[in-house]
Amino acid sequence: MVTKTPLDLQRIRKVPAQFSWVDHRLVRDRHIDRCSHAAATMYLFLVTVGDGQGISYYADRSICQRLRMDQHTLTAARDNLLTAGLIAWKTPLYQVLSLQPDTVRRSGTDTPMSLADIMKKAMGGEP
């Protein structure tokens, strides 16, 4: 028996104010733009099968069968979703994460840059 415990307690998914489990910010804030077709498909699957905290534990083999993907495509899709910050994963658990505000990354680092910092830098100041 697998115990379903959130992998990221700080980002437990909650029902958004609008009418669906799929948060509109996925499109509005352009998170979906960072996803390949396979990653978007996998994200929809994980949203659909996840519990109230976004947690599920489908095996790779089952996901491949359901989504008609090979293992290589599944691995690439999962890596894409992890990099985009949309899921957490630790075999055998997946967690669909709450959506974070979209940020622009500084080149060469993983530090987010706010819109105010971007504007300041564009005007010749230091962020």
pLDDT tens digits, 32-50: 999 999 999 999 999 999 9
Phi, psi of 3 (to 5 degrees): -85, 125
Residues in the chain: 127
Q: Are 90 and 84 spatial neighbours (Cβ–Cβ below 8 Å)?
A: no
Q: Are 6 and 48 spatial neighbours (Cβ–Cβ below 8 Å)?
A: no
> For the segment 49-94, what is each residue's pLDDT rounded down to a tens digit?
998 888 999 999 999 999 999 999 999 999 999 999 999 999 999 9
List, in order of start, the domains of the chain with CATH numbers: 9-99 (1.10.10.10)
Q: Quick one: DSSP state of residue 12?
A: B
Predicted TM-score of the model (pTM): 0.68
Reported as type and span, the H/E element at residue 94 is strand 93-96
